[in-house]
Structure 1
Amino acid sequence: MRAAPRARLRAMALGLLGSAPEADRAVRAAERTLASYGPGPRAHRGPGPVPDPGPPPEAVLARVCLGRLRAREARRTEPWDPWSDSPGPTPAERLILVLHDRFGVPYETLAPVLERAPAAVRQIGVRARARARAAEAMPAPDPAHLRTAVDAVLAAAREGDTAALRSLLDPDAVLRADTGAVRGGVRPAHGAPAVARVLAARAAAARPVPVDGAPGLAAAPDAVYVFTAPAGPITSVDVLADPPHVSRLALART
């Protein structure tokens, strides 16, 4: 394998996927992709064009593992308990925490994999580390920014404009639903397109309502939509409809 020891790539894959068999499959998939590229300019001999050396091995492996992490998130269908479950990092956040923080892979290498600018990838890492340290370490939300985002979601949902909804969401946005919301027909979703479809179908009849003092939405029958948008697009939507969960929220009834 070019430029990176196989053992290092396997350790990266294991850190990302958490399963030795999955890590081995990911490394083999990365090897197959890397084998399709040429040996690179330094190894090239003889006449003819210089073969394409391809992306760095770490980037190829990152792309393979990111696809598997996103597929894993997309398959999640179990209800979510907001006071018992601690949501883990998104696939993009996990990629940065493992590959950059533990293995020193540069942001510039990860940026094409995540289809972001290096500065945006760096910012995702800042957000992920803050969440990992503790919830209280997160920066205080900006109510004005969140209000703008929630108003835009409601307007787009009422128009049935899924393209506008996608533009308001982080590409790795997640929608979590507790047991009551699942009983009411809401299904967990991962990724901007999937979350946008749920919002387009379910949030059109919602009304704005402060939730614990922050902008949110309420929809019949007694479902509450809680949004997270630290600085930029919406990263998560939590739908709560279980009476014990809703009763723990401070709602301004209108």
Structure 2
Amino acid sequence: MEIRTLAHLPLSVLVDCFVQSFEGYSVKVSNSVEYYAARWKAAMVRLDCSYGMFDGELLVGFVLHAIDTRQGVRMAFNDGTGVLPAYRGRRIVQALYAQAIPALKAMGIALLSLEVIQQNEVALKAYTRVGFRIVKEYFCFKGVLLARPDAAMRLEATTFHRMEWNTLPAQAWQAWEHQPESLEGGNFQYYYVWRKEERVGYFVVQPEYNYVAQVDCMHHSPVHWNALLMGVSQIANPVKVNNVDSRQPEKIHYLRRHGLQAYIHQYEMQMPL
């Protein structure tokens, strides 16, 4: 078997391997090439910095790397790892990283990062062997929002470039695909939520997928969170709200209080180079 970059691999071949690698997985994955093309472009995935294990011409495993400078650090984020079921148990992930790390380091990458489901013990062990360590814990929620009617609530549609990112809460705690640098290239809608004359919160959403990338209150209170989630429910419901940092207990409390349930728990792992 041979390791090569994915620079010249047709996207359809990569997506096919991705889907097969996640068959029977706890989370259902899309099989749409268009979906992954848009998602990976927004996340800044670079196939020339991503690596695959090939058995002849068959792609049997891969690591996708998104490359960017985040919070002043040049980073490579693992936006997807997979190994075909028939090839598991051969330490393919470790072999891919053994090839990738020197190349990433040579191009100035200072930090590697990834997300992994807590219950995926095989992946956790593999990443730990490579040198990754847990730095964050995330909760992923889904369900039907149950917000009370509030006649004082109104929505203000806005745009990415009109969002006041520097004033919004907990931006440093957002996961890679939810950070402004990733959102800018995606197909998202942006809203501020007002109650009477006060801007109480905001959210970023993909209505076609019922996916909320960011949602938060300016100041935590039952009335403000109800107004905020009522606003979300007018654009998308049911919803998914992934990768809520465990250091946000108030936010977790109000999401649960308004009908959402945690269905996945994830870790973020990092490795300095």
1 or 2, which has the higher helix percentage?
1
1 or 2, which has the higher strand percentage?
2
Q: Larger relative CO (CA 8 A, sep 6+): 1 or 2?
A: 2
